[in-house]
Structure 1
Amino acid sequence: MFQNQRHTMTSKLFTPVLIFLLLFVGCTTKDKTKDLAKKDAKNTSPNIILFVSDDHGTDAIGAYGNKVIKTPNLDQLAAEGVRFNNAYCTSASCAASRSVILTGLYGHATGSYGHVHDYHHFSSYDNVKSLPVLLEKAGYETARIGKYHVAPESVYHFQKVLEADPRNTVEMAEKCKDVLNSEKPFFLYFCTDDPHRGAPFQSDPWYLPNSFGNKKEGYEGVETVTYDPKDVVVPDFLPDSKETREEIAQYYQSVSRIDQGFGKLMKMLKDTGKDKNTVVIYISDNGMAFPGAKTTVYEPGIKLPCIIKGPLAGLKGGSVNNALISWTDLTPTILDMANVSYDSNAFHGKSFKKILAEENPKGWDEIYASHTFHEITMYYPMRVVRDKNFKLIRNIAWRQEYPFASDLWAASTWQEVYRSEKEYFGKRKVKDYLFRPEFELFDLSKDPSESHNLADDTNYKDVLEALKVKMKAFQKETKDPWLITWDHDNSLQGTGVNL
């Protein structure tokens, strides 16, 4: 009897212990399976290199049709991947544009209205979730090198900050060796200072070209590639003058330095054996640093290079894509490429991963732009909608003179026209460049140089009104404070009282 009781008691004690052990083993096995799956996902996730140049337009890359400039490595990237013909930044200003690249949100919605440095001191709201932070959370090693120009650091945090001369892209590439050899998937944010204008911005005498970072003694490890001013291609929005040609020759030289560093980085990547599992993206923050491009929302200021290659389904080398994409699309696209789940409603842009291999994808025929400041003294908010071939610009502060960035004002390209009191700057009259109407409407299919404003043409009245409606809706949807400038619409404004 005692034995039976003991057996019964033992059974009663053993049952919960057994259940616990089974549950523990089951959970442990499940956890291990989850860990292995997570480890597996990390091992198969592609590496991401986002290479961002500073003030580089489509005008100065061989792959985009320039037969003079030497950019063999960028041309090779295009030959191995896809070249976008209609890629747009949203603000043709360095800091404002970079905030969009790393958040997928328009600057007017994050407080990134203009420059970060010196007394400008613009900064993103501290609740913004940036691309490097989201990728780190997903298990990526994140690293940056070169130009940063966003704030605060807590929002745009990278695990590793690498140091090198941002004008020497070969040196920059060499400093990335450890990141390229990372055991984890990596996100490398590689940002040059080239081909931004070099300091000092004001030449003495005034007619000398800016250096664009070039030095007579050159840079260690970099071959100095020079250009004869008579050979350069002068875009039609610039005056074809001696001063312009000399500055473009310096600009080209700076771009060729970028190309060499990019080539060095690609060779190093290939040497690691990871090139087949790495997405490489080449873009710029805004157009060339010449009046009529940078700080404007005309095509030379915001229509930019975008070349992508990588282990992406259906992507064939040497392909082109005519979709209208925006830098607000970059963060969701990169997260998509990295197989990181995200809330699509958290971004103003959308992933274009699925349409990479399509030349003329449907539904990608509209973009928006939003520029407010460059320097803090340059208040000139502009909003843009492009719908297929029609483009509407609203110059919100149209009653004031268009403000110049300090480096562009000092440019010999501008000073030659200004000091000579010439009537035209490129295809535009100087007075029309400085004093703009509230609305500028262009048909880019017939007028790619944006020379003929159709806003007052009664034949385009319906087009104008339709684009105004789209612009207002865009501003409301993206919580643009400047919505109030339409009929004093204060629907986005709070009470001003902390409840």
Structure 2
Amino acid sequence: MFIKKLIRLVLLFAIIICCSNCDKKQSEKSVSETINTQNRPNIILFVADDHGTDALGAYGNPIIKTPNLDQLAKEGTKFNNAYCTSASCAASRSVILSGLFGHATGSYGHVHDYHHFSTYDTIKSLPVLLDKVGYETVRIGKYHVAPEKVYQFNTVLKANPRNTVEMAEKCADVLKADKPFFLYFCTDDPHRGHPFEPNQWDTPNNFGNKKEGYLGVETVTYNPKDVLVPDFLPDTKQTREEIAEYYQSVSRIDQGFGKLMQMLHETGKAKNTIVIYISDNGMAFPGAKTTVHEPGIKLPCIIKDPTKTEKDITSNAMISWVDLTPTILDMAKIDYDVNAFHGKSFYDIIGKKAVKGWDEIYASHTFHEITMYYPMRVVRNNNYKLIWNIAHRLEYPFASDLWASSTWQSVYRNNVEYFGNKKVKDYLFRPEFELYDLEKDPNETNNLANEETFKEVLETMKSKLKSFQSKTKDPWMIMWSHDASLQGSGVNL
């Protein structure tokens, strides 16, 4: 009897000790979480879909109405030389959320439907890294990356991605959260709308616009006669009509952005929230989206950081979307291995007009849709830019929505010689190398690659590309000299 009582006492004592340790561990966890989250800013990354610098008041367009985004520029820093790495939605977004070029992660093109490109599951993405230190990570709107276990967010909100006002309203609880939050706010605007191919070829695409409009959104329309036609596009009736629709879609973005900022101010958290506005690639017109020419990859980037005292700053520093993940980790005060990313943080140059060392960017495009194989690699160093069209023997491919556009069809159906400032044949059949001096030739019309006086520049730029490809483990490096050193065995062991 005594032994049984002794055993019971020992078991009871063990249970008490165990519970005490559990409470201690739980207490330690709570303290740890407090340390992780204290003094960290909230971060909003607002990503538009196919929006170029051509359609923003802050970037010099006097016609389009974007008062809320223009106000963001007045309160923060506007970057004049901000670049995506690939002018394709999914490929670009994988870079934004990983800090790695798509050719190194398997993110070669679109993830949806039969395209089925997907990021390697060993990649640690931005939302996962933020979650580890206590951030509430939330996404709403366009996702377009895969697999979800790599790009995992704590919370997924649902709203019409064409109605940014509705999207903003769905974020109310996020803005009030006790924990610091990372809000990944992605619109479908101003991407072309369905159907891509109209019944009448010369009908302009709607760019998501509807005659009845959207609840809570003021419909802002534009006269095709008033829009600005970029030099790379033909100045036709069809082009102007489509740009007018594009502008309308951009104005809808602006209203939703304004609503989100209003809600943020009402929570009292604006002073501790960093706001970033970017796009995934350039306007959805031939000559921009899916190309690595300037209209396709040179994009808006406006950042408001309340901790920076300088406002209304315009920076000419060259930054890239591959720099965004390390920059946001710096914003969040997170220690990380700088060698884990291909990009580098530009956090320290936000709010500064003149900076040194930010004079080079790289781009890497391989696919858009799976039927659009046309790998291109790019280096821009100061004013010189080199494009290597690896598949130059192929006809340049069209995205399905761009081919069906009345802008392109107006040229194609009428056998017009020029598409904007380039001949149609030169648009479709490209040389292996394109070398431009962007200071003298911002429209990229005068290819210097075959000129003897620029031979040394060409070779220098080629060397930079090769070094870039080697450092980032680009499989397409094999196309220089059949060097298969980066290819691996091709066998699963």
- Does TM, scored on the shorter chain, surpass 0.5? yes
Correspondence for 1:418:
412
Of 470, 475, 480, the residue aligned with 1:481 is 475
Counterpart-to-counterpart distance in 2, 1:429 and 1:489: 35
Matched, 1:351 2:345: yes
Query: Offset at 1:495?
Result: 2.0
Correspondence for 2:449:
455
- Paired residues of 1:108 and 1:370 also in contact (CA < 8 A): yes
Counterpart-to-counterpart distance in 2, 1:33 and 1:112: 40
Counterpart-to-counterpart distance in 2, 1:43 and 1:427: 54
Deviations 1:273-318 (A, max 9, x none): 0000000000000000000000000000000000000233x44221
Query: Offset at 1:166?
Result: 0.3
The structure with more radius of gyration: 1
Counterpart-to-counterpart distance in 1, 2:309 and 2:319: 17
- Paired residues of 1:46 and 1:311 also in contact (CA < 8 A): no
- Paired residues of 2:367 and 2:375 also in contact (CA < 8 A): yes
Correspondence for 2:4:
none
Correspondence for 1:237:
232
Matched, 1:376 2:360: no
Correspondence for 1:171:
166
Stretches of structure 1 that go unaligned for 5 or more consecutive residues are 1-23
Q: How many residues align?
A: 474
Q: 1:37 to 1:152 in 2, by over 3 A?
A: closer
Any idea what SS the aligned residue of 1:231 has?
coil
- Paired residues of 1:315 and 1:356 also in contact (CA < 8 A): no
Q: Aligned runs of 1:388-403 on 2, under 5 Å? A: 388-403=382-397
Correspondence for 1:7:
none
Any idea what SS the aligned residue of 1:486 has?
helix
Of 212, 220, 223, the residue aligned with 2:207 is 212
Any idea what SS the aligned residue of 1:70 has?
coil
Counterpart AA for 1:376: I
Correspondence for 2:126:
131
Counterpart AA for 1:333: T
Counterpart AA for 2:41: P
Query: Offset at 1:388?
Result: 0.4
Any idea what SS the aligned residue of 2:225 has?
helix
Matched, 1:322 2:316: yes
Matched, 1:277 2:278: no
Q: Aligned runs of 1:59-98 on 2, under 5 Å? A: 59-98=54-93
- Paired residues of 2:189 and 2:207 also in contact (CA < 8 A): yes
Counterpart AA for 1:310: D
Of 384, 387, 406, the residue aligned with 2:381 is 387
Matched, 1:335 2:340: no
Q: Aligned runs of 1:249-264 on 2, under 5 Å? A: 249-264=244-259
Query: Offset at 1:33?
Result: 8.8
Counterpart AA for 2:338: S
Q: Aligned runs of 1:158-197 on 2, under 5 Å? A: 158-197=153-192
- Paired residues of 2:76 and 2:351 also in contact (CA < 8 A): no
Matched, 1:49 2:53: no
Correspondence for 1:12:
none
Correspondence for 2:108:
113
Deviations 1:340-382 (A, max 9, x none): 1111100000000111122121110000000000000000000
Q: 1:467 to 1:340 in 2, by over 3 A?
A: same
Correspondence for 2:262:
267
Correspondence for 1:10:
none
Counterpart-to-counterpart distance in 2, 1:482 and 1:424: 32
Counterpart-to-counterpart distance in 2, 1:190 and 1:257: 14
Given the two structures, how large is their TM-score scaled by the length of structure 2? 0.94
Any idea what SS the aligned residue of 1:174 has?
helix
Counterpart AA for 1:276: K
Query: Offset at 1:43?
Result: 3.2
Counterpart-to-counterpart distance in 1, 2:253 and 2:309: 25
Query: Offset at 1:320?
Result: 1.0
- Paired residues of 1:82 and 1:315 also in contact (CA < 8 A): no
Query: Offset at 1:491?
Result: 1.2
Any idea what SS the aligned residue of 1:374 has?
coil
Any idea what SS the aligned residue of 1:156 has?
coil
Any idea what SS the aligned residue of 1:215 has?
coil
Given the two structures, how large is their TM-score scaled by the length of structure 1? 0.93
Deviations 1:139-160 (A, max 9, x none): 0000000000000000000010
- Paired residues of 2:82 and 2:320 also in contact (CA < 8 A): yes
Counterpart-to-counterpart distance in 1, 2:450 and 2:417: 23
Any idea what SS the aligned residue of 2:377 has?
strand
Matched, 1:152 2:147: yes
Correspondence for 1:19:
none
Counterpart AA for 1:216: K
Correspondence for 2:285:
290
Any idea what SS the aligned residue of 2:277 has?
strand
Which stretch shifts more, 327-336 or 354-363? Answer: 354-363
Any idea what SS the aligned residue of 1:201 has?
coil
- Paired residues of 2:140 and 2:158 also in contact (CA < 8 A): yes
Any idea what SS the aligned residue of 1:97 has?
helix
Matched, 1:303 2:318: no
Correspondence for 1:465:
459
Counterpart AA for 1:482: W
- Paired residues of 2:36 and 2:133 also in contact (CA < 8 A): no
Counterpart-to-counterpart distance in 2, 1:42 and 1:481: 40
Counterpart AA for 1:432: D
Counterpart-to-counterpart distance in 2, 1:436 and 1:189: 37
Counterpart-to-counterpart distance in 1, 2:284 and 2:393: 25
Counterpart-to-counterpart distance in 1, 2:305 and 2:319: 18
Counterpart AA for 1:352: F
Identity among equivalent pairs (%): 74
Counterpart AA for 1:58: T
- Paired residues of 1:106 and 1:328 also in contact (CA < 8 A): yes
Correspondence for 2:425:
431
Counterpart-to-counterpart distance in 1, 2:84 and 2:472: 16
Q: 1:41 to 1:128 in 2, by over 3 A?
A: closer
Any idea what SS the aligned residue of 2:292 has?
coil
- Paired residues of 2:36 and 2:134 also in contact (CA < 8 A): no
Deviations 1:102-156 (A, max 9, x none): 0000000000000011100000000000000000001000000000000000000
